[in-house]
Amino acid sequence: MNFATGLADIVDTLGTVKAEIAALQAKEKQLTDRLKLTGLSEIDGTLFRATVCTSDRETVDTKSLRVDLGEDCIKPYLRVSAITICRVNARKTSK
Protein backbone atom coordinates (compact mmCIF):
# COMPACT_ATOMS: atom_id res chain seq x y z
CA MET A 1 0.00 0.00 0.00
CA ASN A 2 1.51 3.31 -1.03
CA PHE A 3 1.13 6.63 0.74
CA ALA A 4 -1.66 7.92 -1.54
CA THR A 5 -3.67 4.70 -1.13
CA GLY A 6 -3.43 5.04 2.63
CA LEU A 7 -4.68 8.61 2.41
CA ALA A 8 -7.54 7.54 0.14
CA ASP A 9 -8.64 5.06 2.81
CA ILE A 10 -8.48 7.77 5.44
CA VAL A 11 -10.56 10.14 3.28
CA ASP A 12 -13.18 7.45 2.66
CA THR A 13 -13.32 6.52 6.35
CA LEU A 14 -13.64 10.19 7.32
CA GLY A 15 -16.43 10.67 4.79
CA THR A 16 -18.28 7.65 6.17
CA VAL A 17 -17.90 8.86 9.76
CA LYS A 18 -19.12 12.36 8.82
CA ALA A 19 -22.18 10.83 7.09
CA GLU A 20 -22.94 8.78 10.22
CA ILE A 21 -22.57 11.89 12.40
CA ALA A 22 -24.90 13.87 10.11
CA ALA A 23 -27.55 11.15 10.45
CA LEU A 24 -27.16 11.16 14.23
CA GLN A 25 -27.34 14.97 14.35
CA ALA A 26 -30.57 14.89 12.34
CA LYS A 27 -32.01 12.36 14.79
CA GLU A 28 -30.78 14.47 17.73
CA LYS A 29 -32.52 17.56 16.30
CA GLN A 30 -35.77 15.67 15.79
CA LEU A 31 -35.76 14.36 19.38
CA THR A 32 -34.73 17.75 20.80
CA ASP A 33 -37.51 19.51 18.88
CA ARG A 34 -40.06 17.03 20.27
CA LEU A 35 -38.92 17.74 23.83
CA LYS A 36 -39.00 21.51 23.26
CA LEU A 37 -42.60 21.27 22.05
CA THR A 38 -43.73 19.81 25.39
CA GLY A 39 -43.31 23.16 27.12
CA LEU A 40 -41.72 21.39 30.09
CA SER A 41 -38.48 22.61 31.62
CA GLU A 42 -37.32 19.22 32.94
CA ILE A 43 -38.06 15.77 31.57
CA ASP A 44 -36.77 12.63 33.25
CA GLY A 45 -35.82 9.47 31.45
CA THR A 46 -34.60 6.29 33.06
CA LEU A 47 -30.93 7.14 32.47
CA PHE A 48 -30.90 10.84 31.67
CA ARG A 49 -32.66 14.11 32.47
CA ALA A 50 -33.35 16.72 29.80
CA THR A 51 -33.50 20.38 30.76
CA VAL A 52 -35.11 22.81 28.33
CA CYS A 53 -34.14 26.47 28.77
CA THR A 54 -35.17 29.57 26.88
CA SER A 55 -33.04 32.71 26.94
CA ASP A 56 -32.45 35.85 24.94
CA ARG A 57 -29.36 36.12 22.79
CA GLU A 58 -27.80 39.31 21.51
CA THR A 59 -25.79 39.42 18.32
CA VAL A 60 -23.97 42.22 16.58
CA ASP A 61 -24.87 42.86 12.95
CA THR A 62 -21.37 43.56 11.64
CA LYS A 63 -22.60 43.89 8.07
CA SER A 64 -24.83 46.84 9.02
CA LEU A 65 -22.10 48.35 11.19
CA ARG A 66 -19.71 48.28 8.24
CA VAL A 67 -22.29 50.05 6.09
CA ASP A 68 -23.21 52.63 8.74
CA LEU A 69 -19.81 53.32 10.32
CA GLY A 70 -17.34 52.22 7.68
CA GLU A 71 -14.63 49.59 7.70
CA ASP A 72 -12.02 51.96 9.20
CA CYS A 73 -14.17 52.44 12.30
CA ILE A 74 -14.68 48.72 12.82
CA LYS A 75 -11.19 47.47 11.91
CA PRO A 76 -9.55 48.16 15.31
CA TYR A 77 -12.13 45.89 16.98
CA LEU A 78 -11.75 42.92 14.66
CA ARG A 79 -9.69 39.91 15.65
CA VAL A 80 -8.27 37.81 12.86
CA SER A 81 -7.02 34.28 13.38
CA ALA A 82 -5.90 31.59 11.00
CA ILE A 83 -7.94 28.41 10.92
CA THR A 84 -7.40 25.16 9.10
CA ILE A 85 -10.38 23.15 7.94
CA CYS A 86 -10.80 19.80 6.21
CA ARG A 87 -13.86 19.41 4.01
CA VAL A 88 -14.98 16.02 2.75
CA ASN A 89 -17.50 15.71 -0.07
CA ALA A 90 -18.88 12.69 -1.86
CA ARG A 91 -17.22 12.13 -5.24
CA LYS A 92 -19.35 12.25 -8.34
CA THR A 93 -19.36 8.89 -10.05
CA SER A 94 -19.47 8.39 -13.79
CA LYS A 95 -21.91 5.90 -15.27
Show the domain range for 37.
3-56
pLDDT of residue 90: 86
pLDDT of residue 1 exceeding 60: no
pLDDT of residue 44: 95
Task: Please report whether residue 62 resides in a domain.
Answer: no
Q: Where are the alpha helices (DSSP H) in 1-95?
A: 3-37, 62-69, 71-74
Tens-digit pLDDT profile for residues 37-76: 999 999 999 999 999 999 999 999 989 999 999 999 999 9
Tally of domains in the chain: 1
